[in-house]
Amino acid sequence: MNSVRIIGGQWRRRVLKFPDSEGLRPTPDRVRETLFNWLGQELDGWHCLDLFAGSGALGFEAASRGAARVVMIEQAPRVLAALHENARLIGAESALEIRRGDAIQYLASTKAKFDLIFLDPPYKKGWIPRLEPLLPGALNEDGALYVEAEHEIEVLAGWRTVRHGKAGEVHFHLMKREVV
């Protein structure tokens, strides 16, 4: 089993364990620390969506920092089981909604609106262009989009990059809607 730790909030220093799975790359501590510095340390009352939950690092971090609701979508059964087990171990079941599913199907069918969407899909599989047209329907007007990709992204589906960083091969972006 692999592991990643929660770096802030009520479950700070708790370790999440997860199995190997194709395309699963947990967001490194340094990148998460930068992201939550950009967002503000507390997400009290926020509604967050983690479309490719994987290790759960981003979703658990958001819940640990006070998000009112965190929906985590994961398709791989073993990874999904680990997410449920981690939620149980740290007592986070009530803060998280963990679902087995496909990111495209979830976005196409949800009526929910989110303040923050985490978009960290497996690389080189064409996920971002396929999800792009569905993102506006799930994000509040003043919401933010966090994207990890193997390349820099300047504009996506009416959002523009307001903050960008690079750690190793990972480009990470905080995006906001373009003002018309």
The pLDDT tens digits of the residues spanning 117-131 come to: 999 998 888 899 999
Q: Which of the two residues, 28 and 171, has the higher pLDDT score? A: 171
Give the percent of the chain with pLDDT over 90.
74
pLDDT on residue 42: 83
Q: Which of 34-38, 61-65, 85-89, 153-157 has the lowest mean pLDDT?
A: 153-157
Q: Where are the beta strands (DSSP E) in 114-154?
A: 114-119, 139-149
CATH topology assigned to domain 2-177 = Rossmann fold (3.40.50)
Look at residue 69 and tell me whether its pLDDT is greater than 90: yes
- Which pLDDT band, with edges at 50, 70 and 90, does 180 fall under? low
Report the alpha-carbon distance of residue 86 to residue 164 in Å, rounded: 30
Report the alpha-carbon distance of residue 67 to residue 161 in Å, rounded: 23
Residue 50, CA distances (Å) to 22, 118, 156, 180 in order:
18, 5, 18, 27
How buried is 126 (Cβ within 10 angstroms: 0-12 exposed, 13-18 middle, 19+ buried)?
Answer: exposed
Mean pLDDT estimate for the chain: 91
Look at residue 145 and tell me whether its pLDDT is greater than 80: yes
